[in-house]
Amino acid sequence: MIFVLPIPILLNQLYKPIISNGTTRLIKNKKAKDYETTIKILALKQKIKCLEDVPISLKIDLLRKNKANDIDCDGVLKLLLDSLEGICYNNDKQVCEIIIRKHLFQDENKIILCCEQINDEVLKKYYAKKIKPATGRKNSKTV
């Protein structure tokens, strides 16, 4: 499925600190919450369907008007992935592959997102059984 989105605020603008009982916590600020709401509205308009409990591949094209307002590709990912939960997938843990490309000197600033199920047999078995992936360690018994 293809989904056209606005570019989210950057990671360093995403959270505001809250101090409670001497402990600092970070919570999403109003701009971040507004972005998530915008994504939900756009998903309804574009009739995006959630891919449930399957491995997901995301292909993200980040279109920018010019180099003067250029941003890092990774700076948009956190809020974008969080905002897509419940829209393209149930949980961002389902995302097993991300390909992101930046295109400068475009007509407008936006993201074009392609969200697809991965047809990898190993990943299909993992999601079918709902087991934890192997860590690479072998259990050995001593006699």
The 10s digit of each residue's pLDDT in 23-73 is 888 888 898 899 999 999 998 898 888 888 888 999 999 998 887 667 788
Tokens of 52: 């449930």
Distance, CA of 47 to CA of 131 (rounded, Å): 31
C-alpha distances (whole Å) from 87 to each of 22, 26, 42, 90, 109 are 36, 24, 10, 7, 22
pLDDT at 68: 62
Q: Residue 129: pLDDT band by 50, 70, 90 thresholds?
A: low
Between 108 and 122, where is the model more confident?
108
**Phi, psi at residue 28, to the nearest 5°?**
-65, 140
